[in-house]
A and B are shown apart, each in its own frame.
Chain A
Amino acid sequence: MIILVVIAYSLLFIFEFFPLYNQKQWRDLWLTMILGLCSFTLIALLSFGVKIPSPAMPIKNVILSIFGK
């Protein structure tokens, strides 16, 4: 699983980051790198079976506590 993820991300790296690097769009490159890092950590956690907390439940609790139902 993790191997697949790494392969997919390295492909993304080649097709995404190099063009940006060549065009010298540093801002875009940095932002993409940061977002990519976030998504990579997420998928790595997911593939190791870590349960990522969903915001659905807290939002639900907040709304139910306000409107009560």
Chain B
Amino acid sequence: MRREQITDKQAICLIIIFYIGSSFILGVDGESKNDAWISGILGMFMAAPMLFMYARILSLFPEKSMFDIFELVFGKTIGKAFILIYIWYSFHLGALVIRNYGEFINTVAMPETPIFITMLVLTVVCMLAVRSGIEVIGRISASVLPILFFIITTVILMSIPKMNFHFIKPILGDGILPVVKGGFSAFSFPFAESVVLMGGFFSLKTKKSPYKVYLIGTVIAGILIIIITLRSIVILGETFTKFYFPTYVAVSMISLGDFIQRIELTVSVVFVFGVFIKSSMCLLVSSKGIAKLFNLQDYRSIVIQVGILMLYFSYTVYDSIMEMKGWAFIVYPYYAFPFQVIFPLIIFMAAEIKVRRNKKGDENSI
């Protein structure tokens, strides 16, 4: 079978959309109030070493996905355990993202539509995309990202008249602790979530490209997220943490000359694309993992079933939107920490040792 391949540019677009997917609308964190943008920067810097680690692991084993690497490094049994762990993580993450989408549409646009239907529609599209493979997802992101950029920048420009820059002050008014906490929250959501992408970036072209993709993608997406957070702060002030979807509310304040107003739907466009890419990647990775676990030739035959399971799971995972917000900002950072930091660290060290030993073995044999 032909190896699937995406260009670096497509991968960068994919990772950017992956990042801004749900954090664009949920906001970065609620703890540090009007210092949330500092938390964003902090989170980005905290994530940098992790991202280098992910990229290093990928570049040690070119053309292999996360799951292949597990088996190569740890052997069959322990490798299978790791595969199981990451199947669970990407499956859960995908379910959470689909749920975010459902809650957003349900709260903001269509309160009378059952949440199951909105999520079903999204999942069906995701299943189609994943069945078509990562190349298609990459191409979608590359062609959609310019539109999203256009929307985001025009909306930011249009919201300038509504900005009150004194809302930023006082900087670090409550001390540094809430900001660090917020930074931790921003680290785990969205930056370090890109650990999931390790399962999808088996298809990069060269050995160097994981570094390039992770670095450029994170920097661009990070700057975008920070700007968006700042925008919400300067428009809404400290109350922005009270809203479930601060970006949406901030944009709904825009009214230019009486005829450009009610443009908050543009935010939904960005959000829907972001969520689509993010949940597709999660679905792709978890079905790839399951396929690996049972030694299937191709993951495509199980995509639909995994997608349906993901949908049901996301339907049952929360009872209410209150629970969702509490979970996303309080529990999630701790819950995701092992998946994002501890396990990758173990894999990283094991992989380094393995590669060194292999090299020595090669030299000895010559």
Contacts and interface: CB of A to CB of B under 8 A. Distances in A.
Interface of A: 12, 16, 20, 25, 27-29, 31-32, 35-36, 38-39, 42-43, 46, 51-56, 59-60, 63-64, 66-67, 69
B109 interface: no
B330 A69 contact: yes
The 10 closest A-B pairs by CB, nearest first: A35-B305, A28-B301, A52-B316, A39-B308, A63-B334, A42-B312, A60-B331, A54-B317, A39-B309, A54-B316
A32 to B, nearest CB: 6
A28 B305 CA distance: 12
B323 interface: yes
Residue from B92, B296, B312 with most neighbouring chain A CB atoms (10 Å): B312
B301 A25 contact: yes
Given A38-B309, A63-B331, A55 B304 contact: no
B154 interface: no
Nearest to A52: B316
Contact of A27 (B295, B305, B330, B334): B295
Contacts of A16: 301, 304-305
A32 B305 CA distance: 7
Given A12-B304, A35-B309, A38-B309, A25 B297 contact: yes
B296 A63 contact: no
Contacts of B323: 56
Contact of A32 (B92, B301, B312, B316): B301
A16 B303 CA distance: 10
B132 to A, nearest CB: 16
Main secondary structure of the interface of A (DSSP, over half): helix
Given A31-B296, A35-B306, 20 more contacts: A16-B304, A16-B305, A20-B301, A25-B297, A27-B294, A27-B296, A28-B297, A28-B302, A31-B294, A31-B302, A35-B305, A36-B305, A54-B316, A54-B319, A56-B317, A56-B318, A56-B331, A59-B335, A60-B331, A64-B331
A29 B324 CA distance: 36
B331 A28 contact: no
B325 to A, nearest CB: 12
13 contacts: A16-B301, A25-B297, A27-B294, A28-B296, A29-B301, A31-B296, A35-B306, A39-B309, A53-B316, A54-B318, A55-B92, A56-B317, A66-B334
Contacts of B318: 54, 56
B291 to A, nearest CB: 8
B95 to A, nearest CB: 10
Nearest to B307: A39
B149 interface: no
Interface in B261-319: 290, 294-298, 301-302, 304-306, 308-309, 312, 315-319
Contacts of B331: 56, 59-60, 63-64
B318 to A, nearest CB: 6
Nearest to B337: A63
A46 B296 contact: no
B116 to A, nearest CB: 9
